[in-house]
Amino acid sequence: MEWANQNVLVTGGTGSFGKKFVEIMLKEFHPAKLIIYSRDELKQHEMRGSGFNHPSLRYFIGDVRDLPRLRRAMRGVDIVVHAAALKQVPACEYNPMEAVKTNILGSSNVVDASLDEGVKKVLALSTDKAVNPVNLYGATKLAAEKLIIQSNAYAGGRETRLSCVRYGNVVGSRGSVVPVFLRQRDKGRLTITDERMTRFWLSLEQGARFVIRCIEQMEGGEVFVPKIPSMKVFDLARTIAPNAELRTIGIRPGEKLHEVLISRDESRSTIELEDMFVVLPVEAFWFGGEWKDKGKPVMDGFRYSSADNPDWLSVQQIREIIAPFEDAYLQGKLT
């Protein structure tokens, strides 16, 4: 894929993922145009002021809830990375219709605008919380996933193809527990919900590079799932603050003990590659089955869970991962 000829738009481009994606794009792939589409003018101003002022960059104020604005922003665009979402679980629980409007209806608008403007590829970011969801955020992301994948049927003779990536918790992103634990360490007490809790874990860099790879390989209709390590939240807390008191407060509403990236029911249509899984759409006439010869089917009943994962982060690996965030926190750069 020749990125130098592509015009790329990122919804939610001022977020943690968006900034890392843009950074890598500018340094290594040099697209013809890179459009940051987001609704917060302050974040755009701060992003531009922090060095994101390359001649190929464009900043569009706009909300994914605004279909006419999306159409205008996507005119002449080849690739859309859909990262905009409301993702804080408590906020989504308290403001349910706002989560629906952004995560579901906003995704619908991204689909419509992409089809109307002839975008070639749309890759949407999903989450492990979309699998067997127990909170509204997960439910809206599940609906968004289904909407993105099934909307390939609307493409007809058009060139537009749509896929998703689904991965776990991102170290140090907005809403991450790492900054919370660092702040609590100063007071000598960390709160954890349950000592048994596990999570999938990856860095912003890994997430952004995985998205780039999936854009290059997608045919339309896939859900791409990276193979990533698990981590015990208890180990994370102990690594950040080995001498602090740990207080168990119980699992919060809408929270899982363990996360799942691929459910048992999805295993029937999942293939495994060396470093990722690909969930294929079931009986979709618009999907050519190009992936079926590229990997091997997983066993029937397979489940990719953070509790059963063969790959676990050691305490030393956790220490290495969080070191940059600890340095940033001590310098007052991480809040």
Q: Which residues are catalytic?
A: 129
Q: At CB < 8 A and 24+ separation, what contacts does 314-322 make?
A: 315/235, 315/238, 315/239, 317/229, 318/231, 318/235, 318/236, 318/239, 319/239, 321/171, 321/201, 321/203, 322/171, 322/172, 322/178, 322/236, 322/239, 322/240
| Rounded Cα–Cα distance for residues 90 and 86 (Å) | 10
* 163 within 8 A of 122, measured Cβ to Cβ: yes
| DSSP state string for 232-289 | EHHHHHHHH-TTSEEEE--PPTT--SS-EEE-TGGGGGEEE-SSEEEEPPSS-TT---
- Which 3 state secondary structure label does DSSP give 100? helix
* 78 within 8 A of 34, measured Cβ to Cβ: no
| Rounded Cα–Cα distance for residues 83 and 16 (Å) | 10
Buried b (16+ CB within 10 A) or exposed e, 91-128: ebeeeeeebbbbbbbbbbbbbebbbebebbbbbbbbbb
- Which 3 state secondary structure label does DSSP give 322? helix
Task: Check the CA dihedral 68-72-78-80 and report its sign.
Answer: negative
| Rounded Cα–Cα distance for residues 37 and 31 (Å) | 16
